[in-house]
Amino acid sequence: MKSVLFDLDGTLADTSVDMCNALNTILKNRGLKTVDCQNLKYHISRGAIGIIKYASEINGRSIDSSMMRSEFLEEYSKNCFIETRLVEGMDELLKSLEDKGCKWGIVTNKHFKYVNKIVSGLKISERMSCLVTANMVNDPKPAPDSLIHAMCLLDEVPKNVIYVGDDERDILAGKAAGVETVAADFGFIENTSEINGWNADNIIMKPSELKAMI
């Protein structure tokens, strides 16, 4: 029996609309061009810095990244669970894992203050066995620290753990931690052909495909 750990943004939940709306609110307040929410998805895995960089590209000029980042994070903190939902098919997968007695949890580079609101809103706080956020370790992904910490919380060994993520850093972290890696091709990935170069142990097109691996 294996424990399953999930990345959050794009893998377990679609957080893109709330992040996009927060960014566009700040851009409008500054009289800048807003961004397309679908296109923003592909920059979310790079965090707030990547998001602000994308906004700069759309506006054709450099934006004060430190101030903009602060304003964006403040706005997102107030509205991080408005449109956020579990990825389609994810709730069924989680129920299947629970029915099999599998433990599952979240390992993300997002800060706890946002993640806590999201998991509470999704009503999964009591269902998951562990939660590790970026501020809980010295070196977040692609370093293995957060996954190692999660395994300590689960009292689990690497060979019995699967980590599912939609970014190459998820796979790098998983391999460094010695767990089985699964690339989520349904996540925030713009060019799905690149996923083959990540060297994940498995690639899934939808959450239900993970059931066969358990």
50-91 per-position pLDDT tens digit: 899 999 999 998 887 788 889 999 999 999 999 999 999 999
91-113 per-position pLDDT tens digit: 999 999 999 999 999 999 999 99
Which residues have a catalytic role annotated? Answer: 7, 9
* pLDDT the model gives residue 1: 63
DSSP of the chain: --EEEE-TBTTTEE-HHHHHHHHHHHHHHTT-----HHHHGGGGGGHHHHHHHHHHHHHTS---HHHHHHHHHHHHHHSSSSS-EEPTTHHHHHHHHHHTT--EEEE-SS-HHHHHHHHHHTT-TTT-SEEE-GGGSSS-TTSSHHHHHHHHHHT--GGGEEEEESSHHHHHHHHHHT-EEEEETTSS-S-GGGGGGG--SEEESSGGGGGGG-
Q: Which amino acid is at 174?
A: G
Tell me which residues of the chain have a pLDDT lower than 70: 1
* pLDDT the model gives residue 212: 82
Residue 171 and residue 5: Cα distance in Å, rounded? 12
* pLDDT the model gives residue 34: 97
* pLDDT the model gives residue 211: 87
Domains parsed from the chain with CATH numbers: 3-14+84-213 (3.40.50.1000), 16-78 (1.10.150)
